[in-house]
Structure formats: C-alpha cells, structure tokens
Structure 1
Amino acid sequence: MTPANTTQLWDISPLIHADAPLFPGDAPYRLQWTARLSPGCPVNLSAISLSPHIGAHADAPLHYADGQPDIASVALEPYLGPCRVIHCHAQLQRGALIQPQHLQHAAQDLPPRVLVRALAQADTQWRDDFPAFAPATLVWLADQGVQLVGIDTASVDPASSKTLEAHQVLLRHRLRVLENLVLDAVPEGDYELIALPLKLAGACASPVRALLRSISPSHPHKPTP
C-alpha cells in the first residue's frame, strides 16, 4: 500500500517520435547520430530537428500574432503551480466545441491553471476532428482568474479554423496554453502542474515535459455532482 503522504506524479506528455501526430505540413521529429561510441570516440552524440508544436507543448503569443513575445520571453509562473483537471470527454462528440456548461461541474474556486480532458483517449495518429474550445469558454475562464489553459488535443481551435478565434482570446486575455497533453489516466481534481517551456530564442512554441504532482493524495478535489 502507498503511504498516505507519498507524492504521486502523472506524466501527461506523449512520447515524441518520428510518427508522432502533427498538423499536416509541420516538421516531424528526426534524430541522427553525429558521433557514436568507438575506440576513437568516448560518447554517443545525437542531433534532432522537430516542430516545436510536437507532443505536449506551450504556444508563445508569437505563434498567433506578429510582434508578440517568443517562447523564450514569456514569464514562467503560469506553467508552474496549482491546477485543476476537468473531465468533459463524456459530454463531447468528436469535433465538438467545449462550452462553459461542460466545465461547470468543477468550476468552484478555480485555481489559476485549468487542464481539460476532452478525449476519451488521446490521439496517437493525426485526426482533424478533435474537440476544441469555444472562444466564449476561454473568456469565461479568464474572467475567473485562470492564467493558463491546457487541453489533450492538438489545438484550442478546430483544425479547420483559419481565424483562430480561441487563440485570439488567449492573446487578448494574456492566457498561456498547453496543447497535446495526455490526461487519459489522470482523475479529475486538483494538482500541481510542472510544464516549463524551453528558452528557445525566437521560437513560436516549445515542447514541454508536462507533469502533475498530487497536492493531497488522501483528499483530492471532488467536483460537485
């Protein structure tokens, strides 16, 4: 039996690999060896190339507006601290928009970070019919003091969107965002989020190793039915 005071970790980052799902046209993950262990070389050394939007990642405001901060310039506080995981996958169909009423059951005393499980199981291949946020939902969350939103799909906007209305709400309300999380095994409730972006100069996003840490394993948040 796990002791009551033991901290539990949930890794909510998908594996980054050559076939990881990406928006069509994005650069896939590639790894090549530039040196290998041998009598004349004491190390293995690799080089990688990838889209910064692969796997669990943080978008920078530069991604959706020219002249806005790159990922190296954003403050780190939104990516670290108390958060709430809210499930709404049972209420959604593929391609649906997440409305405020889908989150109301767990909306009391929201912490500054909210991660939404919109899929019964995280996609392991590209699909363009993933759920996304209705812009009004992001406005509603921002009005309650939320600083960061996360989702277990490829984008807060539908794949077909050309106006990126949800991203524009992020910009106007100075919300930070995490996309492509894996929340399949995470119970609804309150946690500590740790998901720091890399300090990539000029980049529009950064992969993150997103983790959740239990706050009080014996007394998790239980949303009102």
Structure 2
Amino acid sequence: MTKWIDISQPLTNDMASFPGDTPFAFELTYTKQETGSVNVGQMTASLHTGTHADAPFHYDENGRTIDQLDLDRYIGKALVLDVRQSDPVTIEDLKEIKGMGVSRVLLNTSLPNNPKRFPDAMPALDPGIAPFLKEQGVNLLGVDIPSVDPADSKELETHHALYDNGINILENLMLDHVKPGIYELIALPLAIQGADGSPVRAVLRPISGKEGRP
C-alpha cells in the first residue's frame, strides 16, 4: 500500500515563528509520576505556527473564520508544482496547469525548508496569479513559505487577490522532498470557533503513475 508523505513542519520548542508572533511552546503540565496515571501536556502557539491554513478573517474583518470554511477544499487531488527557478512567481510559471482540471495547487519555491529559521527574504507571488488560478478551477493554493506576501507587508495584496478569487491558502508546507506531480492531499484545519487560522497536519499520497510528473 502506498504510504502517505508528511509535508508538515514538526512542532518543536525551537522552531521559528513569525517575527513578533507567539512562539510555539510545549511542556508537561503534570507527569505520570505526579498523577499516578497519566502524562498531561499543554501547548501555547500562534494559530499561524508551522504548517497552517489561513482563514479570510485573518486579513478581512468580515471574512469567514476557520470553522466556517469548506473542508472539501483541504482533501483531494492536488498538483505539486516546481517553481524553484522563479522569483517572483508569475502566471508564466503556472501555465502548465492550464486545462489540467486540478483544484488544488502546491508550490515548491526556491526557499529551502528549514522550520528552525525564519527567512530573511521569501520568493514573491505575483497577485496576478489569482485570477488565472480561478480560471483554471483552482480553489486552494499551498506554498512552502511562511506567507504568500512579504513578512513586512501591510497591504497583503496576494492574500486579498486570492480571497477575491475564492482561493483558500495553506502556508509553510514542506515540499523539498516531494517530486512534482499529482497527489492526494489531506490538510484539515482544526474546528476552532471564530479563529483566523489553524495549524494543519498536511500529508500527500502519490496517485499511481502521476508522481514525478504533472
């Protein structure tokens, strides 16, 4: 049986967090020695820690929260696309998806996967890709960078362009060990009522004969 490929960042106490955001921390609140029966842990983290889904409420006061999003978008056939040679990523870099009929696209960019270091700079995504993706029937875009916009952006042009075109966002995927091609994706956000985002456990499973090529 084909194994699932984990494309999530491990949640560790030494992982990088978005500058100024709440870092991830895990500790045991009670040990088995103390309780006589179980270990009980607790964690503190930003909802945008590691591999995560953005909800429109993250960047739009009137946007839907994470518990209101369509879960079907986070499960199903996805195309992993190699755009490591491009910065910024433009429509030209995505032209091979034209007519493919995929609704989920994951971009492997030039930024090396390193969960313990927040990048000084990230490959840029041209906001103009959003209407093109919509035309191709794409409703979920995943990236292996912390954000679809620069870390210091206040306008968040690409976030808003994707939102305006009905495209959900996954960020901080781990794709360096994944060949381009067609996969089955599961990347479910948690049902956190009223939340602006959620960590996800994102996994891929090769679709026979499709991995390694689009």
TM range (shorter): over 0.9
* Secondary structure of the structure 1 residue equivalent to 2:37: coil
The reply on whether 1:100 has 2:95 as its aligned counterpart is no
Determine the structure 2 residue equivalent to 1:198: 190
What aligned pairs does 1:1-225 form with structure 2 within 5 A after superposition? Answer: 6-38=1-33, 40-89=35-84, 91-92=85-86, 96-119=87-110, 121-124=112-115, 125-216=117-208, 218-220=209-211, 222-223=213-214
Rounded to whole Å, the distance in 1 between the matches of 2:211 and 2:35 is: 55
- What residue ranges of structure 2 are gaps of 5+ in the alignment? none
One-letter amino acid of the structure 2 residue matched with residue 114 of structure 1: V
Secondary structure of 2:128 counterpart: helix
1:40-83 Cα offsets, whole Å, 9 max, x none, are 52000011110111111000010010021111111101000001
- Residue 120 of structure 1 deviates from its aligned partner by 5.4
* Percentage identity across paired residues of the two chains: 39
Conservation of the 8 A alpha-carbon contact between 2:83 and 2:109: yes
How far apart in 1 are the matches of 2:71 and 2:64? 13
For residues 34 and 157 of structure 1, the distance between their equivalents in structure 2, rounded to whole angstroms, comes to 37
In the comparison of the two structures, how many residue pairs are matched? 213
* Runs of 4 or more consecutive aligned structure 1 residues displaced over 6 Å after TM superposition: none
Report which stretch shifted further, 41-50 or 123-132: 123-132
**Deviations along 1:99-156, whole A, 9 cap, x unmatched?**
1111224544141000000025213301131113110012211111101000000011
Structure 1: segments with no counterpart, 5+ residues: 1-5
What is the CA-CA distance between 1:173 and the residue it aligns to?
A: 1.4
> Contact between 1:120 and 1:184, CA under 8 Å: does it hold in 2?
no
Task: Please give the per-residue CA displacement for 1:9-38, whole angstroms capped at 9, x wherever unaligned.
Answer: 210001111221221111011122221112
Determine the C-alpha separation between the residues in 1 that align with 2:112 and 2:98.
23
Conservation of the 8 A alpha-carbon contact between 1:82 and 1:112: yes
Tell which deviates more after alignment, 124-133 or 57-66: 124-133
**TM-score (ref. length: structure 1):** 0.89
Distance 1:44 1:50 in 2: 20
Counterpart-to-counterpart distance in 2, 1:171 and 1:39: 48
1:3 equivalent in structure 2: none
